[in-house]
Structure 1
């Protein structure tokens, strides 16, 4: 009978842990992108500069830009702004560039930035260096937003960028309290333990 109690507790623990792990099964998904990088513009000269984008998944976990420089050092800062180039800053990430670079440069936002899918946001890039370039592609290849140069939106081109969002395996992140999900399973586990304990006590009395 002791074996039955041990087995019951073990199975209950496995059940609860499996639910917890499934709730935390989060992966990163590429959401928005424009990967053409035919021409490159000086970030400092054309500041404020940015790229509008329209997410389909939330929260935003990282941004990549196609960046080029032949001189260093210098600091790059990415701001995620709401709606416009001078809108509310929702998140910021910076990198110190200590060497020449030509390629995709990633900026992470630990914990994610909550966005509203379907709404407009702006990736703004700032720098203190005079030779940092953010590349772009002409002929308006990205339909979800516009390129911004000197603070003015321009529909003739789009910056090279990628946005990533944290999402559960097989779906979109929903703003739900994990305890709401776990409560029924915990209740079942408690019931199993209680019934097992009563059964064991009765067997001992007999």
Structure 2
């Protein structure tokens, strides 16, 4: 007997969810490689290792595949950014935040400039006319979610006396701009140096020393 039968209803649900996730992941890979226009459902089925009808059993059409693929990848990228920002949680009142901010900066640069992150925004922007709201959805799941989480951590540093009183969301925007801005102009810049410079400037503006 197949595993979906032998493991009961819960096993069937898990198996179906896992297969859907695999299809959505394969779709993102193919769309990132080929773009929307050059991709067909058969390409996604082949990448996922399933039959074409199986794809349609989980997602109704190519348009649904595209939206789900981009949003699922955006959620994944966003979660990676949140995990990095969580590194500020342990900074105590007596700690110098420089080291923790530098580690967060390096981590965020890795996440923001990873190929998946680039592909999410490239795909969302490329098909903005066909998928109204998709670019905004991707931004909400990545940049805006990250800003909110970073603002929360910076607010805690303000309360702990490690940063001067400020508007946390504005401070978060400044920190993120200091990280990502230089690489827009110098894509080959050393991320380590960029992170260190960003923290130096940020602490000159928001530090208590």
Give the TM bin, normalised by the shorter chain: under 0.3
Q: Whose strand proportion is higher, 1 or 2? A: 1
Q: Whose helix proportion is higher, 1 or 2? A: 2
